[in-house]
């Protein structure tokens, strides 16, 4: 998995708020996502795909149809259990590197593409993001996080979910959602949702 990290993550951001937050870092939030073109492109393709409406109209087959049935089952379940079950269900997909699946080093798949073809870390995270939104979760409580795994020394992506004031990390490498405070091997580069982006600064010791 490779991510293209550019200076725009730090330069040119006028923060709308400061907060101590994810992974113990200082968060700088900006209410724009235009400087993350891969995410803007992925959101556009997700909107065009409109998987939930497609499945409601009976146009889904195979794993996409299974996904829709799963979403319907989850509608009567409590919020915490929804988060856990979405994480487990989508983690069953097979991990495949972008270069092997798409012939390129970094492609952010739509949920429909991921369900049909599998994918890598950010594809799991995007599918979880979309599924929780389909279940009525607020976009404000969901963030796709691109980070560095300092143990494996590689770039990685996870979904951060705010539940009852705690940040839970939905990671394709973990069997269960874990609170961010237990995952100190992760150093976030940036995070995004549909309307905002965040960069992170390590607090002074």
Residue numbers of the domain that contains 176: 7-201
Radius of gyration of the chain (CA): 16
Q: What is the pLDDT of residue 133?
A: 98
Assess if residue 67 is contained within a domain.
Answer: yes
67-81: per-residue pLDDT in tens? 999 999 999 999 999
Assess if residue 183 is contained within a domain.
Answer: yes
Assess if residue 1 is contained within a domain.
Answer: no
For every residue of 133-181, DSSP letters joined together read HHTT--GGGEEEEEEEETTTTEEEEEEEEEETTEEEEE-TT-SS-EEGG
Q: Dmax of the chain from CA atoms?
A: 56
List Cα–Cα distances, 56 to 64, 71, 72, 128, in angstroms: 11, 11, 10, 19
Assess if residue 128 is contained within a domain.
Answer: yes
Instruction: Decide: 191 and 144 in contact? Cβ < 8 Å.
Output: yes
Q: Using CA of residue 180, residue 1, residue 143, residue 171, what is the dihedral sign?
A: negative
Q: Which tokens go with 16? A: 């709308």
Q: What is the dihedral of CA 168, 177, 172, 174, to 10 degrees?
A: 130
How many structural domains is the chain composed of? 1
Is the pLDDT at 136 greater than 70? The verdict is yes
Cross-strand partners of 192: 144, 197
17-62: per-residue pLDDT in tens? 445 689 999 999 999 999 999 999 999 999 999 999 999 999 999 9
Assess if residue 108 is contained within a domain.
Answer: yes
Confidence of residue 99 (pLDDT cuts 50, 70, 90): very high
Assess if residue 111 is contained within a domain.
Answer: yes
Q: At 15, which CATH number? A: 3.10.620.30
Is the pLDDT at 143 greater than 90? The verdict is yes
Assess if residue 2 is contained within a domain.
Answer: no
Assess if residue 69 is contained within a domain.
Answer: yes
Long-range contacts of 75-78, Cβ-Cβ distance < 8 Å, separation of 24 or more: 75/135
- Name residues whose C-beta falls within 8 Å of residue 196's C-beta, 6 or more positions apart in sequence: 29, 30, 31, 32, 33
């Amino acid at each position: 998995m490779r991510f293209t990290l550019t200076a725009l993550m730090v330069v040119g951001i006028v923060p709308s708020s400061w907060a101590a937050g994810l992974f113990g870092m200082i968060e700088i939030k900006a209410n724009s996502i235009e400087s993350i073109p891969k995410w803007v492109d992925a959101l556009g393709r997700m909107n065009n795909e409109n998987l939930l409406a497609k499945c409601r109209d009976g146009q889904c087959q195979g794993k996409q149809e299974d996904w829709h049935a799963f979403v319907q089952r989850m509608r009567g379940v409590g919020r915490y259990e929804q988060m856990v079950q979405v994480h487990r269900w989508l983690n069953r997909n097979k991990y495949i590197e972008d270069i092997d699946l798409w012939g390129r080093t970094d492609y952010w798949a739509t949920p429909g593409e991921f369900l049909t073809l599998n994918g890598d870390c950010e594809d799991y995270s995007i599918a979880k993001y979309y599924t929780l939104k389909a279940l009525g979760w607020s976009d404000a409580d969901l963030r796709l996080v691109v980070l560095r795994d300092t143990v494996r020394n590689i770039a990685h992506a996870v979904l951060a979910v705010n539940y009852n004031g705690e940040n839970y990390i939905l990671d394709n490498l973990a069997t269960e959602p874990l609170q961010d405070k237990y995952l100190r091997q992760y150093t976030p580069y940036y995070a995004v949702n549909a309307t905002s982006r965040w960069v992170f600064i390590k607090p002074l010791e």
